[in-house]
């Protein structure tokens, strides 16, 4: 049954693609034949060839994802060579490519149709907060893209004008992707990071797309699941949100007990105490990433007690790491869970984001949370390498962070190939 659904979806994709890539050997009428007919199979194979994503340097992604030592060693050798030869796609390249949107979407292999009725009936909203690396943004968008979904892109107001123009050019080629109506100058660990998401939330709520859940992302994220798998995971939440939310450790309490302000583009501890939080439930700690129901998002703008908390949070340190986690435990918020400690949720148990922290990585047999990073660390977070793929794809998280093509482009390319093949033909590499 799943294979028939996949073949039907491929046929729908072909209707679009064959208008861009006409062929004497493959006619639209062939696609209406029995799914097992030779012409239909031939057309579907051609369609998969046109939409598949393959590594630029011929890496053995199947072996890499299985954790095959020989494939990983070969990938490590190739990575050194590729790093010297790789030419990233620039802002100017995208400005040129997007002058013909039909050709751009086809040449960059964006999926043109929903691949199943279940996906079509369950649109997802995305907030994408970015500031640099135009190629990585476009690859993230492509990996998440489905025409029934809706995407808000927040570009840091400090980003170069050429970067913003390139983003605008890319999103102009899609009816369901747009740049946020208000852009913030984002400062690390300050309120501006939350405000960027809030701006997208407000825009997304105004959209006519009846999305069910909102996932917030940044430019170093990448999905671990196909859109169909995400829809299934979100349905299984049964109307609840999902995010990290745990009791606040003592050393993190000063983040919201003291006042902080942005001075000279950095956040500064003002050394003065804040009033207690304006809520009856406790404060919780988490991270910046969430899987939030539409009701959760609407509450931010409509519920007085939540609006008061949001206002109180504006002069705290890294508010994105305690605002969402706290809202998730407030009884007034739809999609929340009780604030009893039994409902504490670690980042490993939520589905929002898979992250490797340096102080928790090591020998799992000796009690470490996860194996060492095979890429490199940035601010104590792993920029994933190819050797991390086998581990990460065993988890239930929808996305992972961080990825950087400069650190390991093969890791990203193998995820691209894996997800596209799984989406189109229902099979893993």
- Give CA torsion, residues 62, 64, 65, 66, to 10 deg: 80
Q: What gap in Å lies between CA 123 and CA 114, rounded to an integer? A: 10
- Cite the active site residues: 321
Query: What mean pLDDT do residues 130-138 have?
Result: 98
Domain boundaries, the chain: 2-84, 246-343
User: Which of 53-67, 124-138, 391-405 has the weakest average pLDDT?
Assistant: 53-67
- Residue 24: the pLDDT is 41
| Residue with more model confidence, 164 or 84 | 164
Query: What mean pLDDT do residues 207-221 have?
Result: 99
pLDDT bracket for residue 56 (50, 70, 90)? confident
Q: Which two tokens stand for residue 89?
A: 């796609």
The pLDDT tens digits for 14-31 are 545 544 444 445 443 333
Average pLDDT taken over every residue of the chain? 92
Distances from the Cα of 156 to the Cαs of 41, 136, 143, 188, 414, in angstroms?
46, 15, 22, 11, 29
Asked if residue 44 has pLDDT above 90, the reply is no
Cβ neighbors of 135 (< 8 A, separation 6 or more) are 88, 89, 90, 405
| Residue with more model confidence, 46 or 331 | 331
Asked if residue 38 has pLDDT above 80, the reply is no
- Residue 23: the pLDDT is 45
pLDDT bracket for residue 427 (50, 70, 90)? confident
- Residue 86: the pLDDT is 73
pLDDT bracket for residue 273 (50, 70, 90)? very high
Nearest-5° Cα angle at 146, 145 to 148: 135
The pLDDT tens digits for 309-362 are 999 999 999 999 999 999 999 999 999 999 999 999 999 999 999 999 999 999
- Residue 428: the pLDDT is 87
- Residue 426: the pLDDT is 83
Q: Which of 32-36, 49-53, 82-86 has the highest mean pLDDT?
A: 49-53
Cβ neighbors of 117 (< 8 A, separation 6 or more) are none
Q: Which two tokens stand for residue 328?
A: 């998730």
The pLDDT tens digits for 225-262 are 999 999 999 999 999 999 999 999 999 999 999 999 99
The pLDDT tens digits for 61-118 are 999 999 999 999 999 988 877 666 678 999 999 999 999 999 999 999 999 989 889 9
The full 3-state SS of the chain, as one line of letters, equals CHHHHHHHHHHHHHHHHHHHCCCCCCCHHHHHCCCCCHHHHHHHHHHHHHHCCCCCCCCCHHHHHHCCHHHHHHHHHHHHHHHHHCCCCCHHHHHHHCCCHHHHHHHCCCCCCCCCHHHHCCCEEEEEEECCCHHHHHHHHHHHCCCCCEEEEEECCCCCHHHHHHHHHHHCCCCCEEECCCCCCCCCCCHHHHHHHHHHHHHHHHCCCCCCEEEEEECCEEECCCHHHHHHHHHHCCCCCECCEEECCHHHCHHHHEEEEEECCEEEEEEEECCCCCCCCCCEECCCCCEEEHHHHHHHHHCHHHHHHHHHHHHCCCHHHCHHHHHCCCCCCCCCCCCCHHHCECCCCCCCEECCEHHHECCHHHCCCECCCCCEEECCEEECCHHHHHHHCCCCCCEEECCCHHHHHHHHHHHHHHHHHHHHHCCCC
- Residue 19: the pLDDT is 47
- C-alpha count within 13 angstroms, C-beta hemisphere, residue 207: 30
């Amino acid at each position: 049954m799943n294979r028939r659904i996949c073949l039907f979806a491929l046929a729908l994709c072909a209707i679009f693609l064959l208008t861009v890539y006409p062929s004497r050997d493959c006619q639209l009428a062939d696609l209406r034949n029995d799914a097992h007919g030779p012409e239909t199979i031939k057309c579907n194979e051609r369609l998969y060839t046109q939409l598949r994503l393959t590594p630029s340097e011929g890496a053995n992604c199947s072996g890499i994802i299985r954790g095959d030592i020989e494939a990983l060693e070969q990938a490590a050798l190739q990575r050194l060579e590729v790093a010297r030869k790789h030419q990233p796609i620039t802002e100017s390249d995208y400005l040129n490519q997007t002058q013909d949107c039909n050709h751009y979407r086809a040449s960059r292999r964006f999926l043109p149709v929903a691949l199943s009725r279940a996906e079509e009936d369950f649109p997802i909203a995305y907030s994408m907060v970015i500031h640099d690396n135009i190629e990585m943004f476009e690859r993230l968008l492509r990996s998440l893209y489905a025409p029934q979904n809706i995407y808000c892109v927040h570009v840091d107001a400090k980003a170069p004008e050429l970067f913003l123009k390139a983003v605008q050019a890319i999103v102009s080629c899609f009816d369901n992707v747009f740049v946020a109506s208000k852009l913030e100058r984002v400062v690390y660990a300050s309120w501006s990071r939350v405000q960027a998401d809030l701006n997208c939330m407000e825009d997304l709520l105004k959209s006519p797309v009846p999305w069910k859940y909102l996932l917030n992302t940044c430019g170093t994220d990448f999905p671990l699941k196909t859109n169909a798998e995400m829809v299934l995971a979100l349905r299984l939440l049964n109307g609840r949100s999902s995010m990290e939310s745990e009791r606040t450790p003592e050393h993190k309490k000063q983040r919201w007990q003291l006042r902080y302000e942005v001075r000279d583009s950095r956040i500064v501890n003002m050394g003065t105490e804040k009033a207690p939080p304006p809520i009856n439930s406790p404060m919780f700690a988490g991270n910046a990433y969430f899987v939030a129901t539409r009701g959760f998002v609407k509450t931010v703008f409509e519920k007085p007690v939540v609006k008061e908390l949001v206002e109180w949070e504006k002069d705290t340190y890294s508010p994105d790491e305690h605002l969402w986690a706290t809202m998730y435990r407030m009884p007034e918020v739809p999609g929340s869970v009780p604030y009893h400690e039994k409902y504490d949720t670690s980042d490993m148990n939520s589905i929002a984001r898979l992250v490797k922290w340096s102080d928790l990585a090591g020998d799992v047999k000796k009690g470490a949370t996860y194996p060492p990073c095979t890429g490199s660390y940035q601010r104590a977070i792993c920029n994933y390498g190819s050797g991390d793929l086998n581990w990460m794809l065993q988890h239930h998280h929808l996305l992972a962070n961080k990825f950087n093509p400069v650190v390991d482009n093969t890791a990203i390319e193998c995820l691209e190939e894996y997800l596209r093949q799984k989406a189109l033909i229902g099979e893993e590499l």
